[in-house]
Structure 1
Amino acid sequence: MSVLARLVAHPVTERAVLALVVVNAVTLGLETSPSVMARWGGPLHLLDQFILAVFVVEIAARLAVRRLAFFRDPWSVFDFTIVAISLLPATGPLQVLRALRVLRVFRLITLAPSLKRVVGALVGALPGMGSIVLLLLLVLYVFAVMATHLYGVDMPDKFGTLGISLYTLFQLVTLDGWSGEIVKPAMETHPYAWVFFITFILVSSFTVFNLFIGVVVNAMQAEHDLEMSEKTGRPPVSLDDLMQELKRLRAEVQELRGATPAAGGTGPARL
């Protein structure tokens, strides 16, 4: 391994880059204060440029070491994209890109293994979360149509149209002012309106949102099993694998019952 490759992979290098990411996060936050910038704007700008230069050198070194393999690693591409955005000019029509410099803070994800596991689990949970989002949209649509018919005439500001009803029910999902702003005014003209709204809250906020939690927890467990399998060199064991192993053991026990003679007799032994 070359000197450059050893330097790039050295733990001290990773810790130094991690420290610079944290420092850069602090400086970017300080730059939002006019009083701080009025007094320390020059040094903060120089420090920001220095940190960016270090990031560019680090990415260039990793490119030189890994070459095309660098772009086959999603996390490396992520780092490259963030640093490339930071290099874009932040003047004129592209001044909005100045705010995107804070994306450098996301490099903490690639430098901290625990954060990488969390993000990996969230990415793995996206397919399941997509199905749950579709279910939530169906629930919102069905209840919005019902609410528009039931309360649209008496509460046009909340349920006058289907679009307004969808927005109001989404507010109910977040439980923001659900009682004082929505349910109690509806009960002034519809005393039993609470049944409709409580049912919706139970279905959407408590049931569907808990499904989100279940999918994320399952993805986190799968990510943990994969990590443990990489450490031990054994493939991860799923619930289906355990059930198949249990069935195999049960079949072997049945065969032993039939093959072992009973003591003092000719019939099969009873275990």
Structure 2
Amino acid sequence: MVLRDRVGEIVESDRFQWLIIGVIVINAVSLGCETSPALVREYGDVLTALDHSALAVFACELLARLYAFRLRFFRDPWNCFDFLVVAVALLPAAGPLSVLRSLRILRALRLVAMVPSMRGVVTALVRSIPGLLSLSGLLVLLLYVGAVIANNLFRDTGDARFGDLGSTVLTLFQITTGDGWSDVMRDLMEHQPLAWIFFLCYLLIGTFTMLNLFIAVVCSAMQSAVPATAREVDEIVLEELRALRDEVRELRTVHV
């Protein structure tokens, strides 16, 4: 039991955390170097050794955590993520599983689980998913309504981008991302000079308003995480003050 507690203290220590972060960074750099044929020809054996060494370190780390925390290890979603990433890397990357070699870079995502600030950002993004889903549904509805209107307006121009509903939806999605919308508008204005009215209205509603709402939802979720942390700190301070007040009261009682 003492050994288990000692292992838990080691894997949770700051030095050990920084060691794992360093291994993750080195492993990510080595996997990036493997994309260069010149570097592979020159240092292929070194890169392979670094990859295998990093995988061994990650496997030993997970085994140590499993030994220290047992089933409590899987209560933390980040631990489950680490376990899945390392487990995928341990599968034999041969035959039909050769595609798994390209997934080795997922080990670099462990950096998110190791750095508290990154972990907080991801947590805030997860919390914003319900609001983002509602906005996504609204954006899809806007895209569909705009596609029906655009198809009725510009179908007779002979432009293949508005030939049917599917092509129109794809074109409007491209316009929503801001990719080449002015070219599409000017091509249509050669046949319908007032086509710019539709495009400006759609851009104002679909792009500027909706995308800014997406950003607002994410920012709101990230800001809501800060007060929660502040409240936890305030509660800790209040508990300390109550304890100090009780101690002072006891000392006064003893002196009396």
Structure with more helix by fraction: 2
Structure 1: any 5+ residue segments left out of the alignment?
A: 235-271
C-alpha distance in 1 between matches for 2:53 and 2:133: 42
Amino acid at match of 1:185: D
Tell me the CA shift for residue 151 of structure 1.
0.5
Tell me the CA shift for residue 46 of structure 1.
0.8
Question: Hey, what does 1:201 align to over in structure 2?
Answer: 203
Question: Hey, what does 2:124 align to over in structure 1?
Answer: 121
Question: Hey, what does 1:41 align to over in structure 2?
Answer: 44
Amino acid at match of 2:154: Y
**TM-score of the aligned structures, taking structure 2 as reference length:** 0.89
For the pair 1:70 / 2:104, whether they are aligned, the reply is no
Question: What is the CA deviation profile of residues 148-189 of structure 1, one whole-angstrom value per residue up to 9, with x for unaligned ones?
Answer: 111012133110000000000011101111112x10011111
Question: Hey, what does 2:85 align to over in structure 1?
Answer: 82
Q: How does 1:151-230 map to 2 (within 5 A)?
A: 151-180=154-183, 182-230=184-232
4+ runs deviating over 6 angstroms: none
Question: Hey, what does 2:61 align to over in structure 1?
Answer: 58
Question: What is the CA deviation profile of residues 202-247 of structure 1, one whole-angstrom value per residue up to 9, with x for unaligned ones?
Answer: 001100001101100110011112222233327xxxxxxxxxxxxx
Q: Larger relative CO (CA 8 A, sep 6+): 1 or 2?
A: 2
Question: Hey, what does 1:139 align to over in structure 2?
Answer: 142
Amino acid at match of 2:30: T
C-alpha distance in 2 between matches for 1:5 and 1:56: 16
Amino acid at match of 1:50: S
| Paired residue secondary structure (2:93) | coil
Question: Hey, what does 1:255 align to over in structure 2?
Answer: none
Tell me the CA shift for residue 101 of structure 1.
0.3
Question: What is the CA deviation profile of residues 51-102 of structure 1, one whole-angstrom value per residue up to 9, with x for unaligned ones?
Answer: 1000000001101111111111101101100100111111111111100000
C-alpha distance in 2 between matches for 1:229 and 1:97: 44
C-alpha distance in 2 between matches for 1:28 and 1:76: 23
Q: How does 1:247-262 map to 2 (within 5 A)?
A: none
Tell me the CA shift for residue 5 of structure 1.
1.5
Cα RMSD (Å): 1.0
C-alpha distance in 1 between matches for 2:235 and 2:23: 34
Larger Rg: 1
Number of matched pairs? 233
**TM-score of the aligned structures, taking structure 1 as reference length:** 0.84
C-alpha distance in 2 between matches for 1:25 and 1:86: 13
C-alpha distance in 1 between matches for 2:232 and 2:42: 51
C-alpha distance in 1 between matches for 2:68 and 2:75: 13
C-alpha distance in 1 between matches for 2:182 and 2:113: 43
Question: Hey, what does 1:18 align to over in structure 2?
Answer: 21
Amino acid at match of 1:199: C
| Paired residue secondary structure (2:48) | helix
C-alpha distance in 1 between matches for 2:122 and 2:229: 14
Question: What is the CA deviation profile of residues 25-53 of structure 1, one whole-angstrom value per residue up to 9, with x for unaligned ones?
Answer: 10010000000000100011011101100
Question: Hey, what does 1:95 align to over in structure 2?
Answer: 98
Amino acid at match of 1:164: S
Structure 2: any 5+ residue segments left out of the alignment?
A: 237-256
Question: Hey, what does 2:12 align to over in structure 1?
Answer: 9
| Paired residue secondary structure (1:149) | helix
